[in-house]
Structure 1
Amino acid sequence: MNFALILFVLVVITGIAWVADKLVFQKQRRVSAQAALAEFDARRAAMPGHGSGADFESSRSRLAEEKLRQPWWLEYSASFFPVILAVFVLRSFVVEPFKIPSGSMIPTLLIGDFILVNKYEYGLRLPVINKKIVSLGEPQRGDVMVFRYPKDPSLDYIKRVIGVPGDVVTYENKRLTVNGKPAQYDALPDYLDEERLSYSKHYKETLPGGAPHGILNDADRPAFVAGADPDFPFRENCTYNQQGVTCKVPSGHYFVMGDNRDNSLDSRYWGFVPDENIVGKAFLIWMNLGNLGRVGSFQ
Structure 2
Amino acid sequence: MTVGHRGASATRARVTVAVIVTLTLLLGLRLWVVEPLVVSSNSMEPTVLRGSIIFLLKTAPTADAFTPGRLAVFQNPKDGHTTIKRVIAVGGQRVDIRDAILYVDGVRVSEPFVDHSRIDGTYFGPVTVPAGHVFVLGDNRAVSIDSREFGAIPLENFDASLL
Q: TM-score, normalised by structure 2?
A: 0.77
Residue 163 of structure 1, CA deviation: 0.7
Identify the residue that residue 88 of structure 1 maps to in structure 2: 28
Q: Is 1:144–2:71 an aligned residue pair?
A: yes
Q: Count residues in correspondence.
A: 152
Code of the residue aligned with 1:143 in structure 2: it is R
Distance 1:252 1:84, change over 3 A: farther
Does 2:129 align with 1:249?
A: yes
Once the two structures are superposed, the pairs formed by residues 55-94 of structure 1 within 5 Å of their partners are 83-84=23-24, 86-93=26-33
Following the alignment from structure 1 to structure 2, what is the Cα–Cα distance between the partners of residues 220 and 271? 20
Contact 1:170 1:246 in 2 (8 A): yes
Amino acid at match of 2:115: L
Which residue is 2:91 aligned to? 165
* Pairwise CA RMSD: 2.9
- 8 Å CA contact 1:221–1:262 kept in 2: the answer is no
**Structure 1 counterpart of 2:48, from 104, 109, 114:** 109
The answer on whether the counterparts of 1:254 and 1:272 sit within 8 Å (CA) in structure 2 is yes
Deviates more, 1:113-122 or 1:248-257: 113-122
CA distance in 1, matches of 2:114, 2:57: 23
Question: Counterparts in 2 of 1:7-86, with a 5 A limit?
Answer: 83-84=23-24, 86=26
Q: TM-score with structure 1 length normalisation?
A: 0.44
Whole-angstrom CA distance in 1 between matches of 2:124 and 2:92: 20
Q: CA deviation at 1:121?
A: 6.6
Q: 1:81 to 1:274 in 2, by over 3 A?
A: farther
C-alpha deviation, 1:170, in angstroms: 1.2
Structure 2, unaligned runs of 5 or more? 10-18
- In the TM superposition, residue 244 of structure 1 has moved relative to its aligned partner by 2.0
- Compute the displacement of 1:116 (Å): 1.6
1:277 aligns with 2:157: yes
Could you tell me which runs of 5 or more consecutive residues in structure 1 were left unpaired when the two chains were aligned: 1-53, 66-78, 124-135, 185-204, 206-212, 224-242, 284-299
**Alpha-carbon distance change, 97 to 267 in structure 1, aligned in 2, over 3 angstroms:** same
What is the identity percentage for the equivalent residue pairs of Structure 1 and Structure 2?
A: 33
| Residues 89, 104 of structure 2: 8 Å contact kept | yes
- Superposed, 1:204-215 pairs within 5 Å as 205=111, 213-215=112-114
